[in-house]
A and B are shown apart, each in its own frame.
Chain A
Amino acid sequence: MTARVRAADVAVGTELPERVYPVTRADLVRYAGASGDLNPIHWSDRVATSVGLPGVIAHGMLTMGLAGRAVSDWAGDPAALVEYQVRFGRPVVVPDDDTGAEVTVRGRVAAVLDEGRVRVDLTVTSGGEKVLSLARAVVRLG
C-alpha cells in the first residue's frame, strides 16, 4: 500500500513522465459501459451535432481517469491519489476512424505538503489544446 516514488526523491518542479493515450470510438463505448454514463453525445454523431458539438466527444470522466492513471502509474500505487480534481475545459472530439484522438498528460510536482504528500499539477491536452484546467492531485508518496 506504499507508493514506489518516495517523498524524499521529489521536489517542487519534479516532472512526471509524459503519457500519450489514444482514444478511439471503441474506447468511448467501453468507458460508457464501465461507468454507466450512456449519454449519446459520447457515441452518436447525430445527437452530438444536434446539441452544437463538432461530433462525438469523449466523456470528461474518461479524460480525468486517463490523467489519473498517469499519476498512479508514476507513483506506482493507485491508492496514492488521495485527492484529485479537474475542471473540464474543452471537449476531446473523437473522430470515427481507426486512430481516434490522443490525450497527452504532463505533470509536475507543484508543492510539497506534510506527511509525505505532494501536489501534482497536470497539463492535459488533445490536438495541442488544453482540455482540462485546474487539474490537480494530492499524492501520498512512500
Chain B
Amino acid sequence: MALDAGLVGRSYPPSAVYEVGRAKIAEFAAALGSTDPVHLDTEAARAAGHPDVIAPPTFAIALTLSAAGVVVEDPDVDLDYSRVVHGEQRFVHHRPIRAGDRLVATPTIEAVRTVAGNDLLTTRVDVATEDGEPVCSATSMLVARGAA
C-alpha cells in the first residue's frame, strides 16, 4: 500500500511536557556503557560549562520515539507496522539536552516514498523547551517491508 504523498508537511500538536531527570540521563548513559562524568556528576558538568548533567547525543530518542507515536496512530498514515523496521536516524543538536529541561516534541511528516515495494516514511520531531528554545531535531526513517 503506497503512502499518500499529500501527507508530506503534515504536523501534529506538540507532545505533553517531558521533564528530563538526572537519574534518567544516568540510566541512559549506563545503558551505553558511558562513564563520562558530564552525564553523571552535576559538579563535573558545571565544571565543563553546562548548567547540569547533559544527556548522550542519542538520548532524544527516549522522547521522540513516543512523540512520533501520533504519526503511527494517524488513520491517514497507512503503514503496516508489523513489517516496520528503523531505516535511518539523524539528530541535529542546537544544544545538549540537560537535566531539568522541560521539553515538548512536535512531529512533522517530512517525506513519503515507495522504493522497490517498500514504503518509506520520514518523520522529523522537533524538540524545544516549553518556552520555545530549540534543542534538537530527530529525524527517523521507517521502512515497511513490502510483502515478499
Q: Interface of A with B (CB < 8 Å)?
A: 1-2, 21, 27, 30-31, 33-37, 51, 60-62, 64-66, 68-69, 72-73, 77-79, 81-88, 134
Contact = CB atoms under 8 A, between A and B. Distances in A.
Interface stretch (B4-12, B34-42, B108-116, B121-129): B34-42
A34 B128 CA distance: 21
A105 to B, nearest CB: 12
Interface of B: 24, 27-28, 30-34, 36, 38-39, 48-50, 54-58, 61-62, 65-66, 82, 85-93, 95-96, 139
A36 B32 contact: no
Contacts of B36: 72-73, 78
A77 B87 CA distance: 27
Contact of A27 (B24, B31, B57, B65): B31
Nearest to B47: A1
B88 A87 contact: yes
20 contacts: A21-B33, A34-B31, A35-B61, A61-B61, A61-B86, A64-B58, A65-B32, A66-B33, A68-B57, A72-B56, A78-B34, A78-B36, A78-B39, A81-B93, A83-B93, A84-B57, A84-B93, A85-B88, A85-B90, A88-B89
**Chain B CB within 10 Å, residue with most, of A65, A77, A86:** A65
Contacts of A69: 32-34, 56
A35 B31 contact: yes
Contacts of A65: 31-32, 56, 58
